[in-house]
C-alpha cells in the first residue's frame, strides 16, 4: 500500500508544531498502524531525519499507551480498537491519513504525538484506590460479591486510561475516565467505606487538571477502545450527589 501521511510534528512542549506530509510506500495491509509508523521512522532515520515520536508499549491493546487522532477519530476508524490493533487493511491504497496527538490543555504535547497524561495519574491519586492494609492476598471468596456487580465493576475496570475519551470529547472532559474508576471501585464491597470521599476528591482533581465539563454528548464511549459505557457517568453523578448531601 502507498499512503500519504500528514503528521503533527512538534519538537518540544514549548515549541510550535505543524502538520508535515510524508509519503509511505510498500506497506503491507496486515501491518498495524504503529508498524506502518515504524516503517516510516526507519526511513526517516536512514535519511538522517528526526523520527516521529509516539507512545506505545504492549502493542496488544491492553496497556493504554498508544493513542493518536487518526483522521480526527481517536484510535482511528475501527470501533473498540486501540491504535496498535488497528490494521492498515482498514485503509485504501492511496489514502491521505491525518495523524495528530490528543488535544487537551490537561494533556500537553511532549513531542510530536506524545502527550503527558499525568493528569489522569493525579485523578487516580485523589482517590482511585482502596486504602487497605497490605499483606497476603485474601481468599477469593472472603468477601462475597454478587455476580452482576462483579461483572459491572469489571467492565468499568477494563479502562486502560489511554485518554481517547478526553481526545474525542467536544468539551475536552475526562468524565468517562473518572466515572470508570469511580464506578469500578464503587460497585465492589471493598470500595464502600471511601465511596463518598472518593467521588468528591476525584472529581475535584479532574476539574483542577483543566478538563472540560461533561454534556453527555457520548463521543467518549463511541471511541473508547474498551467500550466503557456512558451509563457509568450517571453512576458518578448519582454518587456525587449523594456524597455532596452527606458531606
Partner 1 sequence: MATTGILLVLFLYVHMAGNLKIFFGATPFDHYAHWLRTIGEPLLPQQWYLWIQRTVLTVAVIGHIAAATILARRARRARPVRYAHRPKVQGSYAARTMRWGGVIILLFVVYHILDLTTGTLNPVGSPGHPYANVVADFAPHRWYVTLFYALAVVAVGAHLRHGIFSAARTLGQRGARGEHVARVTALVLSIVLVAGFLSVPFAVITGLVN
List residues binding partner 1 (CB under 8 A). 6, 8, 19, 69, 71-73, 98, 100, 103-106, 170-173, 210-213, 215-219, 222, 229-235, 237-238, 241
Quote the least distance from Cβ 165 to partner 1, whole Å.
Answer: 12
Between CA 156 and CA 149 the distance in angstroms is 11
Of 65 and 69, nearer to partner 1 (C-beta) is 69
Between CA 54 and CA 70 the distance in angstroms is 13
Between CA 177 and CA 85 the distance in angstroms is 21
Angle, helix 231-246 to helix 195-208, in steps of 10 degrees: 110
Of 141 and 147, nearer to partner 1 (C-beta) is 147
Quote the least distance from Cβ 96 to partner 1, whole Å.
Answer: 10
Quote the least distance from Cβ 26 to partner 1, whole Å.
Answer: 25
Torsion of CA 49, 50, 55, 56, to 10 degrees: 40
User: DSSP string spanning 7-32?
Assistant: EEE-SSTTS--EEEEEEE-S--TTSB
Of 41 and 222, nearer to partner 1 (C-beta) is 222
Quote the least distance from Cβ 152 to partner 1, whole Å.
Answer: 10
Of 28 and 96, nearer to partner 1 (C-beta) is 96
Q: Provide the grid cell at 61.
A: 491493546
Amino acid at each position: 500500500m502507498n499512503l500519504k501521511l500528514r503528521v503533527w510534528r512538534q519538537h518540544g512542549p514549548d515549541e510550535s508544531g505543524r502538520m508535515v506530509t510524508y509519503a509511505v510506500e510498500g506497506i503491507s495491509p496486515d501491518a498495524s498502524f504503529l508498524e506502518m509508523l515504524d516503517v516510516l521512522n526507519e526511513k526517516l532515520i536512514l535519511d538522517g531525519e528526526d523520527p516521529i515520536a509516539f507512545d506505545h508499549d504492549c502493542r496488544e491493546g491492553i496497556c493504554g499507551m498508544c493513542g493518536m487522532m487518526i483522521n480526527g477519530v481517536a484510535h482511528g476508524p475501527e470501533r473498540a480498537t486501540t491504535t496498535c490493533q488497528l490494521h492498515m487493511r482498514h485503509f485504501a491504497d492511496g489514502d491521505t491519513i491525518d495523524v495528530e496527538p490528543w488535544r487537551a490543555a490537561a494533556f500537553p504535547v511532549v513531542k510530536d504525538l506524545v502527550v503527558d497524561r499525568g493528569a489522569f495519574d493525579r485523578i487516580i491519586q485523589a482517590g482511585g484506590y482502596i486504602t487497605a492494609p497490605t499483606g497476603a492476598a485474601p481468599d477469593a471468596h472472603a468477601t462475597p460479591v454478587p455476580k452482576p456487580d462483579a461483572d459491572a465493576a469489571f467492565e468499568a475496570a477494563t479502562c486502560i486510561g489511554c485518554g481517547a475519551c478526553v481526545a474525542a470529547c467536544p468539551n475536552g472532559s475526562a468524565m468517562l475516565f473518572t466515572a470508570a474508576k469511580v464506578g469500578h471501585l464503587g460497585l465492589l464491597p471493598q470500595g464502600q467505606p471511601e465511596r463518598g470521599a472518593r467521588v468528591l476528591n476525584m472529581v475535584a482533581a479532574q476539574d483542577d487538571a483543566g478538563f472540560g465539563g461533561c454534556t453527555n454528548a457520548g463521543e467518549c464511549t463511541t471511541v473508547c477502545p474498551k467500550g466503557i459505557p456512558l451509563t457509568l457517568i450517571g453512576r458518578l453523578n448519582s454518587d456525587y450527589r449523594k456524597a455532596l448531601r452527606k458531606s
